Amino acid sequence: MAECVRPVYFVMSLCFCFCQVSTACQEGWFGSSCQYKCHCATDRCHINGSCLENDKCQTGWFGANCQFQDLAVNGSVLLVPQGRSDLLQDGDDDTCHHNVNALLLTWKRNYVFSWLRIKMNETGFDFGVMFKPLNTGDTTLKNNDYITCLNQKIYHNGNQIYYVHCNTSESIHEIFLVWQGPRTVCSLNVNAGRNVALKQVAELSSKLDEKSVAGNAVDGNTEGSYHSGSCVHTKEGDPKPSLLVKFAVPAIVDRIVIYNRVDCCQDRLKGFHLQTWTVAGTADIDYTDSIPYAQNIYNVVAPKNRKVITQISLTSQDKKNGLFLSICELQVYGDTFCPPKLFGAECQFHCNCADVNESCDVSTGLCLSGCARGFSGEGCVSCQQGFYGTNCSRECSSGCSNHQCHVDTGKCFTCLSGYQGDFCNQTCSIGSFGENCRHF
């Protein structure tokens, strides 16, 4: 980037450098350092990550900028009484099934539950949520025992979308959701987190060749052949072959997914050691693989009482198969941990809660106290033009110029010709005319 400092080209280059920072993401990527993958159905999104007009999220993704993996599509949904559960899993909030009393979502594998999103056609009722653990090895639990939702919190943003949170950090394989019904249900999404490892700083203890760039392990490409150029491979003789990924923003992690290479030598990963590290440098998750056969994909579910972490390390330690670390992708699902009253993937947004002392949910920006006046919807975002007040439910006066008013008070900025007053709802007095009746 030597051009950026040459005085002759300074002005042009300044723009060039700036433009590179703000717009140079490859198609299909966005974010301040192009670290987020676009998961809109067309694989394309705006510079801020939102989908193009009339586009929706790819199957399996939902939430702000389609960045949250959706577990509902991996499971089978049973409605009570039976009905078209596919209408809840098509990513469309407008296709609904009527007269539903309860639903059951089951997976073949265990997951950690954090929160779910459900769109109904009615408002103002409560939920009952229960979970079933699978083969936890906990002998105090019988096979049919359900676990209740701990510290249940329901975020309800004024429209018909509910977010149900539980502090249930057990691994579960079934969710039973019941409400005062029957109700019309339109969408169900179960959060499996964002991949917080994507495009983060990665370090490899050694590399086999030039192709083995450490960043390949977190480049968003799970292609399993080493020769595809998206894997990492340490060098022969490395006494402790390992990969370290450092997160730009601290995170709380639910689940880690490792993509083994598929073209050769899968046994080398057997017995791997995975650790996550807090900012103080202490280990949190400490997991050693004990599966007897090498896997294409490894899923590691985080244990209870997770800490805030900033790094993750993966070490190969199977001497029988030669000491090498070769994997093609490391995904770390969870979400960022933000300072109070901030939210978003980079903690870049301020909460807009009705209670100014509340810290909103870090993933959605939603508040238990509701959105502050002038803000509404998922994320408590500023009102659309023409609306103001609590949940943006009040319309600006028809006398406001451009139909624009203060999002909190509803006062117009300027009046249409012929009107006056804070709300531009008084006609001009005799002898005056024009904008705000300023002319005589």
Q: Residue 195 Cβ, how far from Ca ion at the closest point, in Å? A: 12
Closer CB to Ca ion, residue 103 or residue 327?
327
What is the smallest separation between the CB atom of 223 and Ca ion, expressed in angstroms? 6
State which residue, 213 or 249, has the beta carbon closest to Ca ion. 213
Helices (H), 116-268: none
Contacts of 360 (CB under 8 A, 6+ apart): 341, 343, 351, 352, 353, 366, 367, 380
Segment contacting Ca ion (CB under 5 A): 27-35, 245-253, 326-334, 419-427?
A: 326-334
* Residue number with CB closer to Ca ion (223 or 284): 223
* Contact (Cβ atoms closer than 8 angstroms) between residue 152 and residue 145: no
Give min distance, CB of 364 to Ca ion, in A: 29
The answer to whether the CB of 202 falls within 8 A of the CB of 217 is yes
Segment 353-392, which members bind Ca ion (CB under 5 A)? Answer: none
Q: Is 170 in the site for Ca ion (CB under 5 A)?
A: no
Among 329, 338, 370, 380, binds Ca ion (CB under 5 A): 329
Q: Which stretch binds Ca ion (CB under 5 A): 148-156, 226-234, 280-288, 425-433?
A: 226-234
In this complex, which beta carbon is closest to Ca ion, that of residue 225 or of residue 384?
225
189 binds Ca ion (CB under 5 A): no
Q: At residue 75, what is the residue type?
A: G
Least distance between Ca ion and beta carbon 375 (Å): 39
Looking only at residues 398 through 437 of this chain, which bind Ca ion when binding is defined by CB under 5 A? none
Between residues 31 and 250, which has the closer beta carbon with respect to Ca ion? Answer: 31
Stretch that binds Ca ion, among 88-96, 262-270, 322-330, 424-432 (CB under 5 A): 322-330
CA distance 169 to 188: 20
Count the helices and strands in the chain (H runs, E runs): 1, 29
Shortest Cβ distance from residue 405 to Ca ion (Å)? 50
By C-beta, is 157 or 216 nearer to Ca ion?
A: 216
Residue 23: both structure tokens together = 């717009």
Kindly state the smallest distance separating residue 217's Cβ from Ca ion, in Å: 6
Residue 221 sits in the site that holds Ca ion (CB under 5 A) = yes
Q: Would strands 242-260 and 309-315 be described as parallel, antiparallel, or unpaired?
A: antiparallel
Q: With CB under 5 A, what is the number of residues at the site for Ca ion?
A: 6
The answer to whether residues 196 and 332 touch, using CB atoms and an 8 Å cutoff, is yes
Interface with Ca ion includes 314 (CB under 5 A)? no
DSSP string of 395-434, one letter each residue: EPPTTBGGG-B-TTT--BSSBPTTEESTTS-EEPPTT-BS
Q: In the range 254-273, which residues lie near Ca ion by CB under 5 A?
A: none
Q: Which residues of 168-202 are buried (b: 16+ CB within 10 A; e: fewer)?
A: bbbbbbebbbebeeebebbbbbbbbbbbbbbbbeb
Nearer to Ca ion, 333 or 419 (CB): 333
Interface with Ca ion (CB under 5 A), residue from 230, 275, 336, 397: 230
Q: Hey, which residues between 201 and 220 contact Ca ion (CB under 5 A)?
A: 216, 219
Dig out the tokens for 345 from the structure: 């993937």
Nearer to Ca ion, 310 or 326 (CB): 326
Candidate ranges 160-168, 324-332, 376-384, 396-404; the one touching Ca ion (CB under 5 A): 324-332
What is 291-345 written as a DSSP string? -SS--SEEEEE--SSPPPEEEEEEE---GGG-S--EEEEEEEEEEE---TTEEST
Q: Are 85 and 177 in contact (CB under 8 A)?
A: no
CB 38 within 8 A of CB 45: yes
Nearest residue to Ca ion by CB is 230
**Diameter over CA atoms, the chain:** 97
Which residue number, 328 or 362, has a Cβ lying nearer to Ca ion?
328
Question: Which residue, 329 or 361, has its beta carbon nearer to Ca ion?
Answer: 329
Binding footprint of Ca ion on the chain (CB under 5 A): 216, 219, 221, 230, 328-329
